[in-house]
Structure 1
């Protein structure tokens, strides 16, 4: 009778059994995802600075308690600074003041970096805004900036297990910043904010020829480079009729996706504009010499010409000149 040595076989089977159990436990273990959040801005006219005081961020929903991040306390949250102060001049703790006008185009500043959170569908993203936010006009005067209930609320992201996600909150201040009649200071409304997935966006920038501005009676070579000379608007869809384009407070058929101002760069002797963090897609871009645009009311914004552009998801900006 043939004899078998069973000891090696049992050892091998035992090892296989342990490996199988280990794989099962790894598959059943809950996975996390990494989440980052930054802020960026499209500028307003006649402002030298718009400082917003952030204090915390919350991801709300996903059938669990809110996941909160306090600036200056959580390792994945941004550090604090001394820009946010109360009426007595004291620094407000756990705040980071960010001058949004320094974050134009593709520029951004991080609020959260690689935070480990539970995967799932978050119904809301909430940003806690502290007192101390302000707008500084070109004449140097400062005016308070407030947010209703001291919190900005937007639709939240869906984060899949094991993924790494980077989002940017784009402040389109030409839509979001309002100056209510009879109330001192300014208010920021969430209707002018866009939360975008950085893997699905592109950036738009361009130059405007001085001859184009002169031929259309725009201002040129302003004494203060912070004063806008024109405005650029972007609309979803190609070949949109110019007569159907609305301003930020207008009622025409096509509402702006975003808008920005054209500024004179004296060092480069160029007139420049930039709109960052635009969802990939097809757009009509329009330019106007009218720089005043109240987001609460329709204004007489006369568009001169339009151009088409397709925005692709990429880091390099798309160039569109006038």
Structure 2
């Protein structure tokens, strides 16, 4: 089920953030800017987090690091409080602008402010908190106020811009006691703005009654996006997995593919005399390359970001059937500043 339009292949990302290091003082450098963005989470109204700084550490010498603080509009250091859900579907929040970075290889840590909780799981919600759909407010924790996001390279001179993209369906987890949330590095990626494109997917209600188990909009139906093409002669050669964290759920078969991103299908199509009006869902901030996109109408599985009271969690593989109906998957390619589109409806059956 491969799209007939083929775009350029996946580029190698030069994942860079602002800072100094990774070389001697005479090395060349680049001017780098950084923004944050969010892929929506389903069952909360707001995710407030305070960002303080970015730390870059030389990958060849962990004693060589440099921290860049976030400044206010007057140029003075000041932590930045933002609601991540305000920056979705391609919207971004600039946090560091035109910082000079020496060319080199770095590990990146995004430092938050006021996010750790006390030992009993409670804590202040003045700096980091989550608002659920029923307006209940819970503290939000990040590990030691640090999100360690892995390695990247500043590999060319000139001006570069990057986005720290939060996939909250993976990164935001309600803890086992249900009295606070954890924000984890899993599901947060760093992408070069000059390689970014989008995928637009539409879904019609007619699919819901054609799935293996009859289901309705808003009860566990989701779109799952995977990096790469994974089929031979039109047959998938992997198992498309739901959201899970391989560092937590370690007993998963090798052929289960972890999603790059996912979106809950929550809105029913508008009914008109001409038929269903499809609802659009957008995956933004995607690096150039090939992707597999699948629809799953699976009431039996839990397609949201987890309910600890019944054992469900985005950290664990729930074995949701993807795709469901089985024909509802497609292979697409994304190129810079372009939108690849696909319609999930009965025409694919």
Q: TM-score range by the shorter chain?
A: 0.7 to 0.9
Helix, strand or coil for the counterpart of 1:98? strand
TM-score (norm 1): 0.74
Structure 1 residues 18-97: aligned runs within 5 Å: 31-61=28-58, 64-72=64-72, 75=75, 94-97=78-81
Alignment coverage as a number of residue pairs: 271
Question: Which of 107, 112, 137 is residue 129 of structure 1 equivalent to?
Answer: 112
Q: Cα offset for 1:171?
A: 0.7
- Relative to structure 1, is the Cα distance of residues 110 and 34 closer, same or farther in structure 2, using a 3 angstrom cutoff? same
1:270 and 1:99 mapped to 2: Cα distance?
29
* Contact 2:36 2:94 survives alignment (8 Å): yes
Larger Rg: 1
Question: Which of 312, 315, 318 is residue 299 of structure 1 equivalent to?
Answer: 318
* Contact 1:58 1:127 survives alignment (8 Å): yes
1:67 and 1:192 mapped to 2: Cα distance?
23
1:242 and 1:47 mapped to 2: Cα distance?
35
Give yes or no for the alignment of 1:155 onto 2:150: yes
* Contact 2:29 2:100 survives alignment (8 Å): yes
* Aligned position for 1:235: 226
1:100 and 1:264 mapped to 2: Cα distance?
21
**Pairwise CA RMSD of aligned residues?**
2.9
Q: Cα offset for 1:161?
A: 5.3
* Aligned position for 1:320: 342
* Contact 2:203 2:343 survives alignment (8 Å): yes
Structure 2: segments with no counterpart, 5+ residues: 1-24, 115-126, 272-276, 306-312, 345-349
1:74 and 1:189 mapped to 2: Cα distance?
31
2:48 and 2:34 mapped to 1: Cα distance?
18
Q: Cα offset for 1:210?
A: 2.4
TM-score (norm 2): 0.69
By relative contact order (CA 8 Å, sep 6+), the higher-ranking structure is 2
Of Structure 1 and Structure 2, which has the larger fraction of its residues in helix?
A: 1
1:106 and 1:244 mapped to 2: Cα distance?
29
* Aligned position for 2:194: 199
Q: Cα offset for 1:270?
A: 4.9
Structure 1: segments with no counterpart, 5+ residues: 1-27, 81-93, 221-226
Question: Which of 191, 199, 203 is residue 208 of structure 1 equivalent to?
Answer: 203
